[in-house]
Homo-oligomer: A and B are copies of this chain.
Amino acid sequence: MHRRLDARAPGFAAEFDRLVEAARDTDAQVSDVVAQVIAEVAKNGDTAVATLTQRFDRIDLAERGFEIGAAEIDAACANVSPELMAALELAATRIRAFHEKQRPADHDGTDAAGVRAGYRWTPVDSVGLYVPGGLASYPSSVLMNAIPAKVAGARRLVMVTPTPDGRLNPLVLAAAKLAGVDVIYRIGGAQAVAALAFGTATIPAVDKIVGPGNAYVAEAKRQLYGRVGIDMVAGPSEILVVADGANDPAWIAADLLSQAEHDPAAQVILITDDAAFVDAVAVAVDALIEKLPTGATARQSWDSQGAIILVEQLLDAVPLVDRLAPEHLELAVADPQPLFDAVRHAGSIFIGRHTPEAVGDYVGGPNHVLPTGRRARFASGLSVTDFMKRTTFLECSAAALAAIGPAAQTLAEAEGLIAHAESVRVRLNS
């Protein structure tokens, strides 16, 4: 049974704290297994990848080849209906348009001391994109990860996806083609992540690895963080809906369950100022769960991680939102602007009654790869700058160095870094 909290009741603060601290990350003991897989791939390259792929996916890479070639991709795309292809294309177009607005500006200026200083952005050369196989194999994720990389200007975009027993998701391949992925390998798991990080005879190493995956994939990325860049540490989905009593309860129920259906550990929370609406949404949730093919998962999430919080007035939701720092925040209220202005911590905000979170998952434009587990306190959703890096620069004329060099020399000497000081001193005294 989902939790119900009343912000005016005694004990609310402690109860809300428990909600905030709820441990939802699946803490599987995968760390050692993953470390072993990484070591094997680092040492034995393609051979290790092939052995592990045979074991986990029952695929003979020597026979099938590592790469999913153009013919296979084209055959898969031919199976995608025109309606689906049009939807994918609309999504790609809208995602691209939004991300093109994220290209960061360079800076280059000279100050009063005559010092030129600035920074410039350049793309990451090569990006690896992990795409899960099986149930969580989503073409929308391909678009959301690949398009920002292409907009950033990455030269090479490599996709890996497991094909257990040879099963391919045609939509995933269609999305990859649409997004401009350069090459696709039929490998998955920690071994695929390790292959991307170290490179093998077949698979060239990449600089950054992004994309969702199971606990093994996530742990492999975490362990390889630093050797390569990664997108983020991701946890189960979450949605926080702030809604007034004027909403159709069925709409809000669908919104809550749209995240609950992802994962039994998904956190779905409604905050409202209307006591009658609390009951109405709970009834609507139960009714919709019955009809969902994903109902079993949604039921687990709603019962174990679901919560409805009643507040005196809607603006009282703001500090609660900021504590939870939710991945997705819906503001389904008559006047969302004051709430929108006041909230500080959220991955992405969906404003008004006609903006269900799901529209943002596919065709809104903003990225659906977002910080979970309260990480919106310090982290952002995926963007073009995740596939770029900023190089700063500095240029002193002799006169500029004469102006600011002595202070550098003084500080270097105070820090006991005498070669630092010397490198300034020799130039000042020349």
Chain A residues with a Cβ under 8 A of chain B: 83-84, 86-88, 90-91, 94, 97-98, 101-102, 104-105, 107, 109, 111, 115-117, 119, 122, 124-125, 135, 138-140, 171, 207-208, 222, 225-226, 228-229, 233, 248, 250-251, 254-255, 257-258, 260-262, 288, 292-294, 298, 336, 340, 343-367, 370-371, 373, 375-381, 383, 385, 389-398, 400-401, 404-408, 410-412, 414-424, 426-427, 430
Contacts and interface: CB of A to CB of B under 8 A. Distances in A.
A351 to B, nearest CB: 4
B261 A419 contact: yes
A417 B258 contact: yes
A400 B352 CA distance: 12
Contacts of A356: 401, 423-424, 427
B379 A412 contact: no
27 contacts: A91-B408, A91-B411, A105-B105, A119-B383, A139-B415, A222-B226, A225-B225, A258-B420, A261-B418, A262-B417, A336-B395, A345-B389, A346-B391, A348-B392, A351-B393, A354-B427, A358-B412, A361-B408, A362-B411, A363-B404, A363-B408, A364-B396, A376-B389, A377-B389, A380-B390, A381-B390, A383-B390
B389 A365 contact: no
A107 to B, nearest CB: 5
B351 A407 contact: no
A410 B107 CA distance: 43
Contact of A358 (B207, B229, B424): B424
B258 A419 contact: yes
**Candidate in A348, A356, A398 with the most chain B CB atoms within 10 angstroms:** A356
Given A362-B408, A426-B248, A396 B229 contact: no
Number of copies: 2
A125 B411 CA distance: 31
Given A83-B410, A362-B407, 17 more contacts: A84-B414, A97-B111, A122-B344, A222-B225, A226-B233, A255-B423, A293-B416, A293-B418, A340-B393, A345-B391, A348-B391, A348-B393, A355-B395, A358-B421, A360-B394, A364-B394, A381-B390
Given A207-B377, A358-B412, A411-B91, A261 B417 contact: yes
Contacts of A336: 395
B393 A366 contact: yes
9 pairs of A and B residues whose beta carbons are closest in the complex: A229-B378, A226-B233, A366-B392, A254-B423, A351-B395, A257-B419, A358-B420, A356-B423, A87-B407
B389 A358 contact: no
B418 A394 contact: no
Contacts of A117: 98, 364-366
Contacts of A345: 122, 125, 389, 391
Nearest to A388: B380
A334 to B, nearest CB: 14
B354 A397 contact: yes
Given A348-B393, A376-B391, A416 B359 contact: no
Contacts of A105: 105
Contact of A404 (B233, B262, B359): B359
A233 B225 contact: yes
A370 B393 CA distance: 12
Contacts of A171: 414-415
Contacts of A391: 343, 345-349, 376, 380
A373 B225 CA distance: 12
Contacts of A376: 389, 391
**Candidate in A345, A358, A410 with the most chain B CB atoms within 10 angstroms:** A358
A203 to B, nearest CB: 17
Nearest to A80: B414
**Candidate in A91, A390, A401 with the most chain B CB atoms within 10 angstroms:** A390
A385 B383 CA distance: 13
B261 A407 contact: no
**Candidate in A371, A392, A421 with the most chain B CB atoms within 10 angstroms:** A392
A288 B422 contact: yes
A109 B348 CA distance: 15
